[in-house]
Structure 1
Amino acid sequence: MTRWHILTALLCGAVLAISRDTGQFGWLALAACVPLLVMALRAPRPRDVALLLFVPAWMGEAGPMWFYGRLLPMVYGLAVAQALVFMLAALFMRALYRRFPAGVAPLGFAAMLAAIDYLHSLVSPNGSFFALGYTLVDVVPLLQTAALAGVAGLSFLAAVIPAGLAILYVRPRDLSGTLAWSVPVLAVLAYGVWQLAQPAGPTVRIALLSDDRYAGRVFNHPEAAPEVAAAFARQVAAAAAHAPAAIVVPEKILAAGTVLAPPAGSVIVAGLDGPAPQGGRLNIAALYRPGAPVDTYLKKRMVPGYEADYVRGTGELVTRLGDVHAGIAICKDMDFAQDLRLYGRRDVGLMLVPAWDFDRDAYLHGRMAVVRGVENGFAVARSASQGLMTLSDAHGRIVAERRTAHDPGILVGDLPTGRGGTVYSRIGDVFAQVAVAAWLVLLALLAWRWRRVQDRPARRM
């Protein structure tokens, strides 16, 4: 371990800190990983490079630790776990490189990281949070891979590209090693360009409302419920001048039982909070339509440590905006691909999402919802207290966006809807399951080869 290696690792860690799991500059993570993987490939022994891999990977989790550390201390343990996974994956790639054709190494590295992201999402109370694939959310042509393979496909791409570049640097004349990873990347890039050229569904006008002065007010001060309701009734009246098809009000901003009058030709989806009749609390998205009873959607996925006493929902809610099927979900629900796939299978073209972020994580968490839209072919209209108001189309392009503040805010935009029914929404996590199988097979082959090497001296004796 030389001084140059240490400086390189720290520089890579600094770049990862502003890209990995921050929601911004994610594409920089692709470049930052290349020197680390080159060092892993060239190291004489695994122990010579293990720390050089772990430290910058841990630095790359600076975003989540900054966003959530003071609120959810478990994030520090998750950051260590993420760094260990990267270190082990890089050492796995090194082992493959030394025992198989060069092209196997980047594919194995990517399969391992995609597999672990997928397995983690199945058991984590945070769903697909921390998945490597979110680094590609602003690389829109590659983002279209989510419509085929979900966020696991994005994680595979985000790993195979730097791993392949590392192989190319170490073995520049190995054509088969280069083709093994570059052909799949170019294929999905061509698919992404083609997908972006496809026509969108009907355009609908959406109004997103916010006012951070009232975030959490009805929970901490129930007596303020009439004041908050009156404030948002005024915002609804102001939004009516824009003739929106739908108005979205943030999560838990109004008290349960609040009645809002939607303008003619509009619906309102508003976040409500209140006690449940059987005990605990309810986190509700209420759907108000002119001349119709109020429908309600109950949040399914709760924030660990903050919403333990909330009653979980079990169903979906779909309405119509003209010719478009519109689904409703709440904030953290959008972190769980398997739940949103249920809307994709119903050919929903638009999701209306009340949300409430942690301020610092606004970009990161909002972009996760964008990925759900690409996975399932629907546009997303998300209005978050202490976060972002975002309109994104079914290809993940941001149509309009605005930061919330401590005053009334409105974002109005004409949003092209999606057509629903992507490959991913139909077949689910098949790609992720193939990645798990490929990783396990390569592990077994490595173990078999290692055992053969260990047995050779004994046979000679």
Structure 2
Amino acid sequence: MWVRRWLPRGLALASGCLLVLAYPAPALGWLAWAGLVPVLLLCARAGSVREAAWRGSLAGAGFFLTLFQWVLPHVGLLAPVLGLVGGLLWVPVGVVAQRLLREPTAGRTLLAVVVLPSVWVGVEAVRSWEHLGGAWGLLGLTQWQARPVLALASLGGVWLLSFVLVAVNAGLAAALLPGRARPLGGALALGIVALVLGYGLLRPDPVPFGSVRVAGVQPGLVHGVEERFTTHLNLTRQAAGRGQAVVVWGQSSTPFDPARRPGAVARLRETAAAVGSDVLVNVDARAADGRIRKTTQQYGPDGLTATYEKRRLVPFGEYVPLRPLLGGLLRDTGIAEEDRAPGAAPVILRLGTADAGPLISYESMFPDLRRELVRLGADVTIVQGSLTSFHGTWAQPQQASAEAVRAVETGRSAVLVELNGTSAAFDAQGRRLAWMPPDERGIFVVDVPLYEGTTPYVRWGDWVPAAAFAITAVAAGWALVNRSGIKKRRSGHGE
């Protein structure tokens, strides 16, 4: 009895872990097209809703703990909480799989291909809330190298990619379960793949109207305030004569406020004049109001020309939710000792003849921020990042690969410059323009195409999550009404 109960649960846990191989660094993106099938089969074959919930929760816990293995050493007592929350998030997936696929008729198979992806996308949208850690590890991000598939992001963002991946998994699961609906499940899976590839291959490529040259500085981890600043200045001077419009430094590249050090401002102005372009630094320091802020600052030969303050802060890394309650409990972990202050508004920077929308590290994972910048007129988006705490982990290529999806979503080239991570640049088709792994040091220079127009995703926004919530609500209502009817019929027979 014990083996019959826990063997499927153990397989569910392992299946959740296996799906993570679709993400960088393994980057087995093809696995996302069938990696959920084992979990769906195990949940479908569960003898009860309760058992399906158990199997779904264990698969979710395995997925999240494996996906975020790079952060576990830094969160201490929060690690079990991460596993618990991850498990709870997958319970609806397990329950719906059990209800729709346990005896897959044609009708239930059709519902599964629509409702399961809706539940999945709804869960992804909820867990993408900034205070829960943001949009890391969304299933659609696994397709960053599959350009025909990636084109779908221009219609509905990363959410639409996740939706079609889960729909194909649901169809394949139905095709593997006994019943007359097996051919329908396989046909639906193949049909969805054909539609996705057809759109990607037939969609006209966006045509650039020009380009802007961007130089990035990636010095790696440099200890010492003055040493870090000087290293950036020295590397920046290597861009002299390269014709760039801006030299970009990573997050926290300037761990002091240059305004309080006149000599630092003078050195930035001299460097900007020497290389013939503006320099985009990132200040992580206490401001005049006494609060610590992370700020993008644009310096030219004449001094400071523009600033942008980071608006979305990393929970526990840059601020602690419910600090009076959790601060003492997590004192010996890697949490922020003092909360940073968030910025208030987006900013557009002028880079020669182009307009750039700046974001800072964690903000790069949020599709809505990128969409907002494009609506404000950004020709290109630039992210200043730093994953120093997670050097050598999967976090670094995961953040860099997400830039490909962000570029296709918005129809704008995307550039990420890391202090110590994986710097990258992609054009609006998701083609890689630059890629500097975390162990490489120095500068890179890239010509970034500029595009006009807006994608449907920029115009329509998050219509896929909205539709997913609506479908989930209707399905839940239908299930409750149906269950109530069954109980009434049984009660009537009993009388």
Instruction: Name 2:344's counterpart in structure 1.
Output: 314
Cα offset, 1:9, TM superposition: 4.1
Instruction: Name 1:77's counterpart in structure 2.
Output: 81
CA offset digits 1:55-95 (Å, max 9, x no partner): 34322224444211122343542333223332431321221
SS state of the match for residue 326, structure 1? strand
Q: Distance in 2 between matches of 1:175 and 1:324?
A: 53
Gaps of 5+ in 2: 259-263, 320-338
Is 1:436 the equivalent of 2:466?
A: no
Q: Distance in 2 between matches of 1:144 and 1:76?
A: 37
1:124/1:179 Cα in 2 relative to 1: closer, same or farther (>3 Å)? farther
CA offset digits 1:322-361 (Å, max 9, x no partner): 5432211111121222222211213422112211113221
Alignment of 1:216-365 (within 5 A): 217-218=224-225, 224=226, 227-254=227-254, 255-257=256-258, 258-259=264-265, 260=268, 261-262=271-272, 263=274, 265-291=276-302, 293-308=304-319, 309-357=339-387, 358-359=390-391, 360=393, 361-365=395-399
Q: Distance in 2 between matches of 1:451 and 1:36?
A: 29
1:197 corresponds to which of 190, 193, 205: 205
Cα offset, 1:140, TM superposition: 2.7
Cα offset, 1:2, TM superposition: 8.2
Cα offset, 1:158, TM superposition: 2.6
Cα offset, 1:378, TM superposition: 1.4
Cα offset, 1:251, TM superposition: 0.8
SS state of the match for residue 421, structure 1? coil
Native 8 Å contact 2:12 2:42 kept in 1: no
Moved more, 445-454 or 368-377: 368-377
CA offset digits 1:345-392 (Å, max 9, x no partner): 134221122111132210112233332222212111111122111111
Native 8 Å contact 2:153 2:161 kept in 1: yes
Q: Distance in 1 between matches of 2:152 and 2:237?
A: 41
1:17/1:118 Cα in 2 relative to 1: closer, same or farther (>3 Å)? closer
Alignment of 1:420-459 (within 5 A): 421-459=454-492
Native 8 Å contact 2:236 2:443 kept in 1: no
Is 1:57 the equivalent of 2:60?
A: yes
SS state of the match for residue 294, structure 1? strand
Specify the code of the residue in structure 1 equivalent to 2:462: D
Specify the code of the residue in structure 1 equivalent to 2:49: P
SS state of the match for residue 250, structure 1? coil
Q: Percent identity?
A: 24
Cα offset, 1:101, TM superposition: 3.2
SS state of the match for residue 366, structure 1? helix
Native 8 Å contact 1:388 1:403 kept in 2: yes
1:96 corresponds to which of 100, 119, 125: 100
Cα offset, 1:32, TM superposition: 2.3
Is 1:419 the equivalent of 2:452?
A: yes
Native 8 Å contact 2:306 2:349 kept in 1: no
TM-score, normalization by structure 2: 0.82
Count how many residue pairs are aligned between Structure 1 and Structure 2. 452
Instruction: Name 1:404's counterpart in structure 2.
Output: 438
Instruction: Name 1:67's counterpart in structure 2.
Output: 70
Aligned-residue CA RMSD in angstroms?
2.8
1:278/1:340 Cα in 2 relative to 1: closer, same or farther (>3 Å)? same
CA offset digits 1:404-437 (Å, max 9, x no partner): 34x8421222333343522111221122111101
SS state of the match for residue 138, structure 1? coil
CA offset digits 1:150-208 (Å, max 9, x no partner): 22222212311211111122257555555556544433332222347333342333221
SS state of the match for residue 102, structure 1? helix
SS state of the match for residue 109, structure 2? coil
Specify the code of the residue in structure 2 equivalent to 1:237: R
Instruction: Name 1:221's counterpart in structure 2.
Output: none
Instruction: Name 1:107's counterpart in structure 2.
Output: 114
1:25/1:417 Cα in 2 relative to 1: closer, same or farther (>3 Å)? farther
Instruction: Name 1:206's counterpart in structure 2.
Output: 214
SS state of the match for residue 28, structure 2? coil
